[in-house]
Amino acid sequence: MLIIMALLPFLGALLPSLMIRAGRNACAIFTALPTFLALVILLILSPSVMRGEVLQAELAWLPQIGLSASFFLDGLGLLFAGMILGVGLLITLYARFYLSGEDPMGQFYTFLLLFQGAMLGIVLSDNILLLLVFWELTSLSSFLLIGYWKHLPEGRQGARMALAVTGSGGLAMIAGMLILGNIVGSYNLTDILQAGDAIRASDWYLPALILILLGAFTKSAQFPFHFWLPQAMAAPTPVSAYLHSATMVKAGVFLMARMWPVLSGTDAWFNIVTTTGLITMVLGALIALFKNDLKALLAYSTVSQLGLMTMLLGFGTQVAAVAAVFHIINHLTFKAALFMTAGIVDHETHTRDIRRLGGLRHLMPVTFVIATISALSMAGIPFLNGFLSKEMMLEEASHTGLFGSPSALPILATIGALLSVAYSFRFVVHVFLGPVRDDYPHKPHDPPFGMWAAPALLACLVVLIGVAPFLAEGIVTAAANAVTGADLHPHFKIWHGFTPALWMSVVAVVSGAILLLQYGMLDRVWEALPRPEAKTIFDHLVAAVVAGARRVTEITHNGAISRYLAIFTIASVALGWVAYSGGGLGPRTRDLLAVPLVVAVGWLMLIVATGYVVVNHHHRFRALVLIGVIGLTVSAGFVYLSAPDLALTQISVETVTIMLLLLALHFLPKVTPRESSLALRLRDGAIATVAGLGVGGLAYAFLLRDTDTISDYFIANSYEGGGGTNVVNVILVDFRGFDTYGEIIVLGIAGFLIFSLMHALLDGPAAKRLRARDYSQDRSHDRHPLMMVVVTRVLMPIAMVVGIYIFLRGHNAPGGGFVAGLVVAIALLMQYMASGFAWTQARKRIEYHTLIGMGVVIAGLTGAGAWLFGQPFLTSAYTYVHIAPVEEFELATAMLFDLGVFLTVLGAVMLMLYSLSRIARFAGETVNMEPMDYDPSEHVDDGKVKV
Amino acid sequence: MIEYAIFFAGICYGAALLLDLWRIAVGPDAADRILALDTMVVNVIALLVLYGLWRGTAVYFEAAMLFAMVGFVSTVAYCRFILRGDIIE
């Protein structure tokens, strides 16, 4: 049940976006449905929780790292889940009437449900890793909600700021939670809650505390992170009412309450949390008083009230914890109602500027009543619920000392209360009282019932709890017991007698009212005072971070490949040197072999050709010829060193590469310009030499020592396991078939990429440059020489047979799909070269794209076929078949896989060369449809050749 | 006896390779280099065959065949490049 409840909002999040097609009402109903179902489940579960039971449910997720999807429901979770779901329902109703026709409502409700699910996850998680996941989800989904009005720059900026602040706090919290989990040895919240003493005694207590508090303070907008909340007010009002009064900003308070049994009770906790809460409470209230934007006023008042709750939790006493829990409920009711009334005022008058409002009580009587009740509760007037928890706060504050001073805290708490009275009164007096004006941007009147129903319900709760506080005792007791871990039975009373708290209240209300009477004068003083603007500071901070990041990026990533290669090479050489100097190198166990004369020739060829390329690489064509020499020598070397498979592959790849480079070179300058200074070239030369010597030394060291390699395993198991005697091929298609599968996919993607890049390139300005280029080279007039055409036609079937042969025997002798694909590709390319692009293209039956796709699909299906026999992906099987006239031969599934490799290689190579050769068409070169320049068969007439 | 013959032939082809390398290095023009590279392929093929004879296996013969088949293609490509510029028209 618990898991279903936690998942309902996420599942439900799919509905609104679909149901919006059925109309706005259907959309709202289907948003309310999952919320309502979850609330019903919660109500069913609540009686047992109220009795003090803790419900648990667990699903293993990643048990290896201690992450399980486990949920639990205790009193605190019940309180918060009830708030999240209950207010969620009200907000759904309110938003239905608040959002205008142009707003994408389905999207809004989807975001809302996502957020609701994330929030519900936080309060129900029994695993702190899971809690972190949900914590980040609330940051993300609130980003979407705050930035819902994408067209407004304030909305986007506010969303970004909220994400930056709460997101970085979340990062800090991840670290803190991991430390906590390490101390306890378990990531389960229920285990952690039992281990309070061990945690407080640990050396890591303070870092963990600070990191977790950073997360909580940023989320709950505590000083000095309070600035994001007012900026987030650019969100639609339902979002502000939901996220910024009832739920998200309370997540930090929730976390502090959740961790209260393990983290509180130390001096560090008291000093940090109480001081932060106190500063936030007073500062928030002070700023709120002077805000002219209705929602900004409410935002700062929320900051202040959250400070109050934080401070109460910071006290560390059980009574204070009860007061904090009680105030969470009370604040929710009046603040959500106030936000919604602010939204109504904005909706009706088209302004939220208090200076342009006033006298609304005659025009909007219903709204006026709701707003007044809620605001008076916020001010702490008797018979409203705000009074009760504020009294408890003042009572606790009156006998708590701070930093050795017994009177500092009571005085500051009274000042906080006084300011909150002042801004609450201001909300009512400056908006609703006073004379009716005739210059509202829009003539206001009360909204439809659907819009004021939700705040009216909340206002009823405000009065109900205020008059009959015992109604809330049950849930507060359950939650407070869950927070403190004790068995408390608090009783709420309206009248406590003439206590210090009462006098503090009286002082606060009277002075608050006086303050408001003097508002005009105070406002001028406030405006004249210099004060730091949080948004500007934040913007500068972000700009500085961005600039710093950019500087680092520009130093390391300046776009010059020479720098990247230099950094990479130096790092590799340094690592190699560290490994070498570590002394892990054993003594030599082998002797040098004699060098035959011909091999020495090959060695000399490699050295000379390589050196020549280095010196002459500016002449691109000459360098290409030299690369041909190197490729040839390396291929011959592979043959000599008993790697015929490699040799076959290498020589084919060389040929294809040369053709590719020649195709490209036609459209490139034939000489590379000299771009680096002499010093730079010397530096690069030195680096290259050192790296080359390093690699050479490494190879030398390895060749002289016997090392254990995995080759022995492959050789031993190749036939038995893979059914082939060619170890190289068995490795490719069997042992490491998954690797090969990935590689052919990459190869296919590379082919497509070149194709589409070329497409994009030739559609762009490059095509114009290509056409404008001068190709007036002195060209031979033999465009498609007869000789060459005939030879390539004859070679075609031979090459195909060779390709098929190499493919078929690949499993047992040198060859395989890869080489075969290259050989066939070369055979086809010869036709392209001999008879031209258009003629060959016209005879192509299958698109190269299709070949690639077929190859990957065949290989994939072969691999998946193993599943049918209950084997893991790509398990191969083989058997021997005997058909009468043919010798006995082997059939292996690996061959089918190899067919996939073959097709992909063929398709990819052809697609690449095809793409490159298309450039010429775009450059305006002509094609011819004839197979050759001079076709003798067309000119034969009675044995005589026409001229 | 055959060992001596193979050894002698190997020396000859090795020397030919070095001469090819010389021609590729000094040029003077592209056609010289392409021809030298083609000759080099032929010489390498010969060496592979000799090596196969010496080791008494057919594997190298096949490799030599394949070298012959694809080696000629790059020569054609180089030639088309200097004659026509575009190798696939």
pLDDT value, residue A547? 94
Structural domains in chain B? 2-84 (1.10.287.3510)
Cβ–Cβ below 8 Å for B71 and A663: no
Alpha helices (H) in A185-274, listed in sequence order = 189-194, 196-201, 205-219, 228-231, 237-241, 248-258, 260-263, 267-269
Q: Quick check: helix, strand or coil at residue A67?
A: strand
Q: What is the rounded average pLDDT of the residues B26-49?
A: 91
How far apart are the C-alpha atoms of A16 and A29, rounded to whole Å? Answer: 9
A917 has a chain B CB within 8 A of its CB: yes
Q: How far is CA A650 from CA A38, A654, A763, A798, in A?
A: 65, 6, 35, 20
At A942 the pLDDT is 53
Q: What is the mean pLDDT of chain A?
A: 85
User: Tens of pLDDT along A640-691?
Assistant: 888 888 888 899 999 999 998 998 888 888 888 887 788 888 988 899 999 9
**Confidence class of residue A945 from pLDDT cuts 50, 70 and 90?**
very low
Locus of tokens 């008042």:
A301
| CB-based contact A42:A77 (threshold 8 Å) | no
Can you tell me the distance from the alpha carbon of A678 to that of A681, in angstroms, rounded to the nearest whole number?
A: 5
Which residue, A140, A159, A120, A130, is CA-closest to A246? A120
pLDDT at B8: 92
- Partner-chain contact B84 A779, CB within 8 Å: yes
In degrees, rounded to 5, the angle at the alpha carbon of residue A352 between the alpha carbons of residues A348 and A358 is 75
- The confidence band for A776, taking pLDDT boundaries of 50, 70 and 90, is low
Enter the tokens of residue A699.
Answer: 């190879």
- The SS3 of residue A671 is strand
Confidence of residue A774 (pLDDT cuts 50, 70, 90): low
Q: How far is A353 from A638, CA to CA, in rounded Å?
A: 82
- DSSP tag of A705: S
Query: Whole-angstrom Cα distance, residue A251 to residue A229?
Result: 14
Residue A73 in 3-state DSSP? Answer: strand
From the centroid of its chain, how far is CA A37?
31
CA distance A841 to A915: 12
For the stretch A6-50, pLDDT in tens is 888 888 888 888 887 778 888 888 888 888 988 898 888 888 888
Asked whether the beta carbons of A344 and A447 are under 8 A apart, the reply is yes
Please name which of A58, A144, A46 lies closest in space to residue A86, comparing C-alpha atoms: A46
Contacts of residue B17 in chain A, CB cutoff 8 Å?
601-602, 605
Q: B28: cis peptide before it, omega within 30°?
A: yes
Question: Nearest Cα to A321, choosing from A85, A127, A76?
Answer: A76
Q: Work out whether the CA dihedral A571, A577, A580, A581 comes out positive or negative.
A: negative
Q: How far apart are CA B78 and CA A915, in angstroms?
A: 19
How would DSSP label each residue in A772-821? HS-------S-SS-HHHHHHHHHHHHHHHHHHHHHHHHTTTSS--HHHHH
Give yes or no for residue A238 having a pLDDT over 90.
Answer: no
Helices (H) and strands (E) in chain B, counts: 3, 0
CA distance A769 to A405: 80
- Beta-carbon contacts of residue A692 (< 8 Å; ≥ 6 apart): none
H or E element that contains A72: strand A67-73
ipTM over 0.85: yes
Q: How far is CA A64 from the centre of its chain?
A: 23
3 state DSSP class of B56: coil
Confidence of residue A777 (pLDDT cuts 50, 70, 90): low
Q: Is A878 helix (H, G, I), strand (E, B) or coil?
A: strand
Do residue A826 and residue B73 have CB atoms under 8 angstroms apart? yes
Given CB atoms, is A467 within the 8 Å cutoff of chain B?
no
Q: Among B3, B51, B59, B69, pick the best mutation site for testing chain A contact (most A Cβ within 10 A).
A: B69
Residues of B with Cβ-Cβ distance to A597 under 8 angstroms = 10-11, 14
- pLDDT at res. A397: 81
At A384, the pLDDT band (50, 70, 90 cuts) reads confident
CA distances, B75 to each of A495, A653, B37 (Å): 105, 15, 8
Q: How far is CA A260 from the centre of its chain?
A: 31
The angle formed by the CA atoms of residues A486, A491 and A492, to the nearest 5 degrees, is 125
Q: Is A659 an interface residue toward B (CB < 8 Å)?
A: yes
Q: What is the pLDDT of residues A301-346, one digit of tens each?
A: 999 999 999 998 888 888 888 888 888 888 888 888 888 888 888 8
Residue A748, pLDDT > 90, answer yes
Q: Given an 8 Å threshold on Cβ–Cβ distance, is B88 in contact with A913? A: yes
Are the Cβ atoms of A629 and B24 closer than 8 angstroms? yes
* Neighbouring-strand partners of residue A58: A70
Answer yes or no: is pLDDT of A946 > 50.
no
Q: In a 3-state reduction of DSSP, which class is residue A381? A: coil
Of A254-258, A802-806, A811-815, B10-14, which gets the smallest average pLDDT?
A: A811-815
* Tally of CB atoms within 10 A around A466: 24
How far is the C-alpha of A398 from the C-alpha of A887, rounded, in Å?
102
For residue A783, list chain B residues with Cβ-Cβ distance below 8 A.
84, 89
Judging contacts by C-beta atoms under 8 Å, the chain A residues touching residue B66 are: 648, 651-652, 802, 823
- Residues 6+ away with beta carbon under 8 Å from A487: A481
